[in-house]
Structure 1
Amino acid sequence: MSQASSSAYERLRAAAAQLKVPEAVRAAAAATPGDPRPGEIWRAVWDHVVEIVIITAVDETTVRALPVSLETRFHDSDTLLLPAEASTLEQPLALWRSLGSRLPWCVLERQVSKLSVPLDGDGAPAPTVTGYRYGSPIPSPAAQSAEFRAALADTMDLLAAAHWAPQGSGDLAALLKQHGLGPAELIRHLSIQPPRALALLRAQTQLTPDEASLLAPAMGMAADKILAANPPLPERAVHELSRPTRRAQVRRLAQLTGTTEHDVRQQALFATLTLAARQQRPAETDWPARVDRYFDVHLG
């Protein structure tokens, strides 16, 4: 983790160590993460990247977020500088409006604070808000503010590009046919029943990561390339495993199995998809209940 990418969170920790932690911050840290809402300040984490962001808008699969810094001496002309009383952190904040990005839900780890002033979707304060000011233009590309801004921009780009679920081109049936894999070959390679083999060939269900690995030698392709040809994944299922409330379960199972969060999410997704495919009406699948059941079984 680079010093620049984690600076906001590290400064938050340092401030908390030196000052009395506000009760609202303590309560947010102890609570089970819920779904994000506008006006909340979150810790975003992906691989080795860490950043503090303010949520300004929320939709079904992404949030609109701005990087937040406790280092208020660095800013540009679009940076909103808020006083300590503007959030439950009780610290002055710099909101980098020019670096707002759409971030996937899966990068959100934990809420750490909440603003007490309303912002619009672009991070601009409501007309009734007072006590704020905007930063100054960056004087030159060599200025410290320019370096600080560039580091924040890189971090936001990495967070915006985060994903764990294969996109699914829908080319699986054609790909299997191209490699001469019919029902008999799939049954033999994958040790599956005829109905599942036929469903795969008709693009009615997805290959699992384990099945893709078994087919990789016969197809002369990497397993992830085969997975990328799957039928598109149900968006609701992917979203359920991307919610912040799932992250603690994902991490616990990754630790128990010695795998990564990425692998755990994929295994959970394809396991629930396989069970849902046996239902008469898979479109009506209760994905939260399915995912709950998966973690209940695998976490004991």
Structure 2
Amino acid sequence: MRAVPISLDASAADDSAAILSPESSDLACSLVVWLDDATSLPLRVLDRYLGSLTVDAGELDAAERGQPVLTHADERAVQRARLQDILDVFVAARWAPEGAGNLKELLGAADVKELAQALQEPPRTVIALRRGRASLSPEQAERLAPVIHLPVETLLAANPSLPEDLVADLDHPAYRAKVVALAERRNVDETEAWLTAGFAVAAVAHRQTEGEKPAWTDRLDRYFALVLDEP
């Protein structure tokens, strides 16, 4: 999603930023729109809706600009640098790990039946894990860790990467509230709740050997309805 930083202190604007009047938005105050710092952001970093801002390109072009920065010691240059640093953090934000996909190597020396018993799953699930067609959920990794004497974090890092389209759907604001509710219910942080939901849904989908590509939103809806006891 394409986004641009907006701040409220007009005195901090330089000539790269447009200063919009209080009438331009629902916030009823002057807004500094940092046009030169526009970038693509993942939906996952958007936390709260504050209001609407609707302007056309002509209005932005005609808007008042801040004064040029003439020295690096200018406090406005420092403030903009801080804003850019924060923006870099948002751009790089990611809850889904880049899975190594090497579960086969970690599980290869263990007996299939023993692993199945520890996971409380049928042997075919263990075989799917070894083939990279399934992912360990955090709960399964906790069951498995003492059996093969590896940390939970090592097991989860060995999962195959979650499908990008599943990650994108989970990032949607419609699921953010459900992830927060899951985190509160299980007394875990949001990242662990995201991982729990993502790996659980992916694991079920990996068991599907035929048919069309998984409809992640349908699967996510069913998952959250189940774990949150929704009607």
Bin the TM-score by the shorter chain.
0.7 to 0.9
In 2: Cα distance, 1:182 partner to 1:134 partner: 69
State the SS of the aligned residue for 2:133. coil
d(CA) in 2 for partners of 1:144 and 1:276? 53
How many equivalent residue pairs?
229
User: Which deviates further from its counterpart, 200-209 or 278-287?
Assistant: 278-287
Matched, 1:134 2:65: yes
Match in the other structure for 1:92: 30
The residue number in structure 2 matching 1:40 is none
Partner of 1:115 in structure 2? 53
Give the gaps of 5 or more residues in structure 1. 1-62, 119-125
Alignment of 1:200-239 (within 5 A): 200-217=129-146, 221-239=150-168
1:153 aligns with 2:84: yes
Question: What does residue range 138-287 of structure 1 map to in structure 2 within 5 Å?
Answer: 138-177=69-108, 180-217=109-146, 221-281=150-210, 284-287=213-216
CA 1:297/1:215 → structure 2, altered by over 3 Å: closer, same or farther?
Answer: closer
Q: Displacement, 1:292?
A: 1.4
TM-score, normalising length from structure 1? 0.68
Aligned to 2:42: 104
1:81 is paired with a residue whose SS is strand
In structure 2, relative to structure 1, the CA distance for the partners of 1:161 and 1:200 (3 Å cut) is same
Alpha-carbon spacing, 1:284–1:162, altered in 2? closer, same or farther (3 Å): same
Task: Give deviations 1:53-107, integer Å, cap 9, x for gaps.
Answer: xxxxxxxxxx222211011110233112222233232322111233333321111
1:10-89 counterparts in 2 under 5 A? 63-89=1-27
> What is the letter of the counterpart of residue 86 of structure 1?
S
**Measured at CA, do residues 253 and 190 of structure 1 come closer, stay the same or move farther in structure 2, by a change above 3 Å?**
closer
Distance 1:101 1:184, change over 3 A: same
Cα 1:142–1:290, aligned 2, differ >3 Å: closer, same or farther?
Answer: same
RMSD of aligned C-alpha atoms? 2.4
How many angstroms does 1:199 deviate by?
0.7
Aligned to 1:106, the other structure's residue is in SS state helix
Identify the range of structure 1 (184-193 vs 287-296) with the bigger mean alpha-carbon deviation: 184-193
The structure where strand makes up a greater share of residues is 1
Secondary structure of the equivalent of 2:48? Answer: strand
Change (3 A) 1:209 1:257: closer
Shift of 1:221: 4.3
| 1:71/1:244 CA distance change after superposition, 3 Å | same
**1 CA distance for matches of 2:66 and 2:59?**
20
Q: Is the partner of 1:94 in helix, strand or coil?
A: strand
Residues 65 and 103 of structure 1 are in contact (CA less than 8 Å); yes or no, is this contact kept in structure 2? Answer: yes
Amino acid corresponding to residue 64 of structure 2 in structure 1 = R
Alignment partners' CA distance in 1, 2:151 and 2:211: 29
Confirm or deny: 8 A CA contact 1:75 1:138 kept in the other structure.
no
The C-alpha deviation readout for 1:239-278, integer Å capped at 9, x for no partner, is 2211111122222222222211112111111222232233
Instruction: Name which of structure 1's ranges 206-215 and 181-190 shifts more when overlaid on structure 2.
Output: 181-190
Give the % identical residues. 36
Q: Which residues of structure 2 form unaligned runs of 5+?
A: none
Shift of 1:237: 1.7
Q: Calculate the TM-score normalised by the size of structure 2.
A: 0.85
In structure 2, do the counterparts of structure 1 residues 282 and 135 end up closer, same or farther at CA, with 3 Å as the change threshold?
farther
